[in-house]
Amino acid sequence: MDRTKIKICGLSRLCDIEYVNLAMPDYAGFVFWEQSRRNVSIKKAEKLSKALDSSIKSVGIFVNAPFEKIINLCDKNIIDIIQLHGSEDNEYIAKLREYIPKKVIWKAYKVCSKEDLKAAESSAADVVLLDNGYGTGKCFDWSLIEEFTRPFILAGGLTQENICDAIRKFQPYAVDISSGVESEGVKDKEKILKVVTTVRNC
**Catalytic residue numbers, as ranges:** 9, 131
Which SS3 state, helix, strand or coil, does residue 33 take?
Answer: coil
Residues 6 or more apart whose Cβ sits within 8 Å of residue 23: 8, 192, 193, 196, 197
Alpha helix segments (H runs only) across 122-173:
163-170
Helix crossing, 189-200 with 163-170: angle to 10°?
30
How crowded is residue 85: how many other Cβ atoms within 10 Å of its Cβ?
Answer: 25
